[in-house]
Structure 1
Amino acid sequence: MTRSGAVRPTRAADLPWVVCDGAGMAIEPVSEFLRELLACGNGTSSCRSYAYDLLRWFRFLAAVDVPWNRVQRAEVRDFVLWLRTSVNPARERSRPGASAPGAINARTGKSSLSAGYAPATINHALSVVAAFYAFHVRTGRGPIVSPVPAQSRRGGRVYSHHNPMEPFASHKRGSYRQKQPELPPRAVPDDVLDDLFSRLGCNRDRAMFSMYLSSGARASELLGMSVGDAHPGEGRIYVATKGLGGIKQACPAAPEAFTWLALYLGELTGEGHRPEPDEPLWWTRRNPLRPLTYTAVRAVLRRINESIGANVTLHDLRHTLGLRLIADPQVTLVDVQQVLRHRQITTTGLYLRPRVDEVIARVHEHYTRPRPEPRPLAGWTYDEQDLSDVFGEH
């Protein structure tokens, strides 16, 4: 399929991203939908994510030569079939020598990403297209009926009024929605973590990765911190929580993370750059100094993974913290929910599931445990009191 069009940033406060067609012109129906998203309280990152999903959809429509407001259910079906059989362009950017798609890493036990689109990606794309057409059905600018089949009302993971003590009822998936495997949280083995931290080459990276592991902050949340968001005396940092429109919440951080942070800020001051409390906390190491980006941090982690033969991601550090807290008998499930800032306690409950490697180790121990020798029978004996109770006194 021809990769026509693009997602471009703008300087407009009411529309930070636009989707352009092959001629470089903004697609107005998409722009109206993105404005609606922002008006409903969604953040700019969500706006960007939806823009890329709609770009993929409009590229498909351009390939099949169907106007967006003349789409039928058959086009949605063909779009899903195309996603199921196509190669994800993001996988094509892998470096030579990288692990084969779907291969299991020997050190972490985690599989590499598959070459195609994941079921969650397909379902998200369907949800975005469905929301796009639902908006234009309401405004009267699109088709009379949305071409995307409705999703099962209770088929998702959100059960707002579900009693956690009762089992979940099974419900039929919506049409074209893919089966998603319920993967357990991924913890990084201790020996891999030791190798990872030994490869960090500067105090900035040591401070940053220590905070990732001890705070449970997401990648973008930690990178969005300002200098004033770090409070060493209180042992906490403040991050803009995902989905709350920039509202900052407190997270714990380990003492060693603040130690590395003090060393890093001291180096910045020694180089003549002393950021103000409202300026970004994380900066590049080379001149001209710029705020650190997610792409740069991923590059640091990718080089370390290549040197130690692992496939650790930043989000794995968040899972590792969650599993460590769950294993501590002094920390409750509600405490873990607060640290990870999950909206639903059922999401935190996924960390209660036993890890696969722990289960395998216990089963192997069961196989190798010596069996107790059976005790030989010494013959039958009777209690005299029992005999007297049954037969009476003689």
Structure 2
Amino acid sequence: MQNVGPDAGRNVAGLRLPVVGSVVATGQVGLPFTVVDAAGRAVEPISEFVREMVAGDMPDSSCRSYAYDLLRWWRFLAAIEVEWDRAQRVDVRDLVLWLRHARNPQRTRTRLGAPTPGSVNTRTGKRHLAEGYAPRTINHQLSVLKQFYDFHLGAGRGPVVNPVPAATRGGTRPGAHGNPLHEFVPHRRGAYRQKVPEQAPRVVDDALWNELFAAMTSHRDRAILATYISSAARASELLGMRCDDLDFGRQTISVVGKGTCTRQTIPASPDAFVWIRLYLAEGHVAPVEEPLPADAPLWVTLRGPRKPLSYWAMRAVLNRANDRLGANITLHDLRHTCASRMMADPNMAITDVQAVLRHKSLTTTGMYGTVQLDELINRTLEHHARRAAPPPPRPHPAYNAADLAVLFGEQAG
């Protein structure tokens, strides 16, 4: 299918992206990930862009995410038969239209009894992932393409004009400091940017948390969950810990923060350190009689050769517990739960919670102070019960009911 003008239109409903190419880890310095074509050759425009991102101190995880977005774009260009350096705004528009209605292959569930995509879980009140691409995914795709074409435009390659519109109307960055001499202009979404619905923090109530913790089958898994729920660490941060990241004296842990290369210290609960001690006493990390190797991974597999516990392996542990409980709890839900618990404590200042969560803005931390739906329902029902009118007083039995009816009407009886 050849490129078409904006008036001709393109049938994106029946578009099928060819499953060619892949994202590979190169092991090269300055190029952790790249995209290869069907013949296994590196796609050089993407490799150059990734090198630029690495030079700008972008973490490897972000490079991998960017590579997958660019792989999707390369497959879309192959489906519409357009070269990457000939792409136009209409092609980006059609990509967005396709993403809005296509099925996300990562949402495919073949297991019998799997929940319907987009349905609400009765235990948690949280929706299961829909089968399509989320608005955040589409916006991330556009942001990656915008940076990709900006980079090549600066090098004199690619289209004359960036085919991806700016993120905002007028081209200014959202939240950027404005000139006080100019009139304030409200932020407006850029073309093709999707509306992202506001979501309340996903909090696990105490009863369900107790059931989840009881469903764990090893000290390692109990230690991980106890550390998640008390430290509010992100999933990848906690799983990347080393043995020397534990401080039993101060009861703190150290993690490499999201988007940073520095280790950040955060407190955890005494219970978490008790479970960690029980896990280490089993000798999975190192023999019990030997000291812990400082640079060894803290969380390792329990069966087979010893290797670091991956995110997908820990997610499988949680999913097995979810199947037994009929829930859909994620590791990130535990971060939300910890934050909401601390915000509900009157002895915890919001700046303390911000420091634990390592947020740059208090506005982000403030969302955990919102009232949860279950709490709102209970308080509202209690309010209505207090406001209910008391029943009228019953007359003394010594009064004649017929006389009362004559004086005050039938209701007096």
- TM exceeds 0.5? yes
Asked if structure 1 preserves the Cα contact closer than 8 Å seen for 2:242 and 2:294, the reply is: yes
The equivalent of 2:163 in structure 1 is 147
Choose the corresponding residue for 1:284, options 292, 301, 315. 301
The equivalent of 1:380 in structure 2 is none
Distance of 1:71 and 1:329 partners within structure 2: 55
AA matched with 1:352:
G
- Provide closer, same or farther for how the CA distance between residues 184 and 34 of structure 1 changes in structure 2, counting only shifts above 3 A: same
The equivalent of 1:187 in structure 2 is 203
Identity %: 52
The equivalent of 1:352 in structure 2 is 369
Choose the corresponding residue for 1:265, options 277, 280, 293. 280
Flag the structure with more relative contact order, 1 or 2, with Cα contacts below 8 A and sequence separation at least 6: 1
Consecutive unaligned residues in structure 2, runs of 5 or more: 1-16, 179-183, 393-413
Distance of 1:155 and 1:364 partners within structure 2: 48
Choose the corresponding residue for 2:127, options 111, 117, 121. 111
SS in 2 for 1:11: strand
The equivalent of 2:219 in structure 1 is 203
CA deviation string 1:8-32 (max 9, x = no partner)? 0011011010101122111001011
Trace 1:1-394 onto structure 2 (pairs within 5 A): 1-93=17-109, 95-152=111-168, 159=175, 170-244=186-260, 246-268=261-283, 269-270=286-287, 275-372=292-389
Aligned-pair CA distance for 1:355: 1.4
SS in 2 for 1:2: coil
- Provide closer, same or farther for how the CA distance between residues 157 and 231 of structure 1 changes in structure 2, counting only shifts above 3 A: farther
- Provide closer, same or farther for how the CA distance between residues 324 and 286 of structure 1 changes in structure 2, counting only shifts above 3 A: same
Asked if structure 2 preserves the Cα contact closer than 8 Å seen for 1:155 and 1:171, the reply is: no
AA matched with 2:130:
S
Distance of 1:288 and 1:133 partners within structure 2: 44
Asked if structure 2 preserves the Cα contact closer than 8 Å seen for 1:15 and 1:35, the reply is: yes
Aligned-pair CA distance for 1:94: 5.5
Give the aligned length. 370
SS in 1 for 2:79: helix
Distance of 1:299 and 1:15 partners within structure 2: 30
Aligned-pair CA distance for 1:226: 0.2
Asked if structure 1 preserves the Cα contact closer than 8 Å seen for 2:167 and 2:173, the reply is: no
Distance of 1:252 and 1:285 partners within structure 2: 26
AA matched with 2:97:
L
Distance of 2:172 and 2:125 partners within structure 1: 28
The equivalent of 1:165 in structure 2 is none
Aligned-pair CA distance for 1:157: 9.6
SS in 2 for 1:18: strand
Distance of 1:227 and 1:155 partners within structure 2: 47
TM-score by length of 2: 0.85
Distance of 2:162 and 2:154 partners within structure 1: 10
- Provide closer, same or farther for how the CA distance between residues 198 and 183 of structure 1 changes in structure 2, counting only shifts above 3 A: same
TM-score by length of 1: 0.89
Aligned-pair CA distance for 1:358: 1.6
Distance of 2:379 and 2:206 partners within structure 1: 18
Distance of 1:76 and 1:273 partners within structure 2: 58
- Provide closer, same or farther for how the CA distance between residues 260 and 129 of structure 1 changes in structure 2, counting only shifts above 3 A: same
The equivalent of 2:401 in structure 1 is none
CA deviation string 1:303-327 (max 9, x = no partner)? 0000011000000000000000000
SS in 1 for 2:380: helix
Asked if structure 2 preserves the Cα contact closer than 8 Å seen for 1:149 and 1:174, the reply is: yes
Distance of 1:351 and 1:32 partners within structure 2: 40
The equivalent of 1:382 in structure 2 is none
Consecutive unaligned residues in structure 1, runs of 5 or more: 163-167, 376-394
RMSD: 2.3
SS in 2 for 1:324: helix
AA matched with 1:305:
N
- Provide closer, same or farther for how the CA distance between residues 97 and 224 of structure 1 changes in structure 2, counting only shifts above 3 A: same
SS in 1 for 2:20: coil
CA deviation string 1:44-96 (max 9, x = no partner)? 00000000010011010011110000000110010000000100010114633
Aligned-pair CA distance for 1:170: 4.5
SS in 2 for 1:267: coil
